[in-house]
Amino acid sequence: MKKIGPYVGITGFTSLGEVVACNNAFREAAQAAGEYVAANLKFMVGVLISSKTLNGGTNKWPCRYPPVANIPEIISMKYESHLLHTIHYNTDDPMTVDEQIDQIMGISPSSINALQLNIRWANPVKLQRVKRRYPDLRIILQIGAGALADVDEPGEIFLGEALRAYEGVTDDFLVDPSGGRGEPLDVWRAFACVADDEIPPGMQPNIAGGFSAENVHRARGLMRRLKRPVGLDAEGRLRTPGDNLDIAAATNYLREGIALVGGAMIRYRH
């Protein structure tokens, strides 16, 4: 499996203008963090799709889930090599997820770089089929609250054992018990997850859970103990009262998150 590095991301983009504004802040902060960070850190641009919106319906979060017809424009900045255009997908029918992914990839096949599956333990056999069809697609497996409950036993979390089934199939995993609701992450529980020795060594760990510029520093201790950079994603605390993306909150988060992850990248690079 190819080497996959960390990202700092935002989920819930619904317009190209939002992407442009945040990308400008990302580039500025990455350059300030140093040449190595600017060359290797990715900006994860997260666009939400559900099985309902994929088929023309409306999600219960309409300010976060754009019409599918608008997505090619949202992820149209292909000339920026640090951009990781990522579809975050959840479905009411996980049994046919591979067929649904074919439908997603048809939306903008030359612009989609990654796919995050917000599905509780998506079938790894079906994901193998997806990986064969789209070998360059970066696949991220979300470990949400339900998935964590499946592997959380008294005194120990057996996440690594469960992730072994996805070795060679998924490139990243994202510990995300909040699921975009802005609930603060239990950093030490997250540490117990990503520090599991059973996790396949090629998988990139990422965490989410109520991150903003004001609290992203809470992940610093986790990275110091792991001695590796961990990717970050944010959604719920970067929204306005009307549930639109708050550009000021988003750009401030990017500056703080890039400084944190970039510092770990430099400190622990091999």
Report the alpha-carbon distance of residue 156 to residue 66 in Å, rounded. Answer: 39
Higher pLDDT, 226 or 44: 44
Average confidence (pLDDT) over 200-223: 92
pLDDT at 1: 43
Where in the sequence is the domain holding 85, given as residue range(s)?
Answer: 7-103+111-267
Query: What residues form DSSP beta bridges with 142?
Result: 174
**DSSP three-state, residue 242:** coil
pLDDT band at 204 (very low <50, low <70, confident <90, very high): very high
Asked whether residue 251 carries a pLDDT value surpassing 90, the answer given is yes
Report the alpha-carbon distance of residue 189 to residue 176 in Å, rounded. Answer: 11
Asked whether residue 3 carries a pLDDT value surpassing 70, the answer given is no
pLDDT at 78: 81
Asked whether residue 113 carries a pLDDT value surpassing 50, the answer given is yes
**DSSP three-state, residue 159:** helix
DSSP 203: P
Give the rounded percent of residues in the chain with a pLDDT score beyond 70. Answer: 95
Residue that is written with structure tokens 């790894």 in the block? 124
Q: Does residue 1 sit within a domain?
A: no
Domain count, the chain: 1
Q: Does residue 164 sit within a domain?
A: yes
Report the alpha-carbon distance of residue 231 to residue 204 in Å, rounded. Answer: 8
Higher pLDDT, 215 or 153: 215
Q: Does residue 88 sit within a domain?
A: yes
Dihedral angle sign, alpha carbons of residues 205, 266, 7, 4: negative
Cα-only R_g, the chain: 17
pLDDT at 180: 58
**DSSP three-state, residue 187:** helix
Provide φ and ψ at 161, rounded to 5°.
-60, -40
Asked whether residue 5 carries a pLDDT value surpassing 80, the answer given is yes
Q: Which of 234, 198, 199 is nearest to 218 (CA)?
A: 234
For the stretch 154-200, pLDDT in tens is 666 788 899 999 999 999 999 987 665 666 777 777 887 888 888 99
Identity (one letter) of the amino acid at 58?
T
Q: Does residue 2 sit within a domain?
A: no
Q: What is the pTM of this model?
A: 0.95
pLDDT at 107: 96
Q: Does residue 196 sit within a domain?
A: yes
Average confidence (pLDDT) over 201-205: 92
Q: Does residue 246 sit within a domain?
A: yes
Burial status of residue 201 (CB atoms within 10 A of its CB: 0-12, 13-18, 19 or more) = exposed
CATH number at residue 205: 3.20.20.70
Report the alpha-carbon distance of residue 11 to residue 14 in Å, rounded. Answer: 9
Helix ranges (DSSP H) in 152-242:
159-163, 187-194, 220-226
Asked whether residue 131 carries a pLDDT value surpassing 80, the answer given is yes
Asked whether residue 82 carries a pLDDT value surpassing 80, the answer given is yes
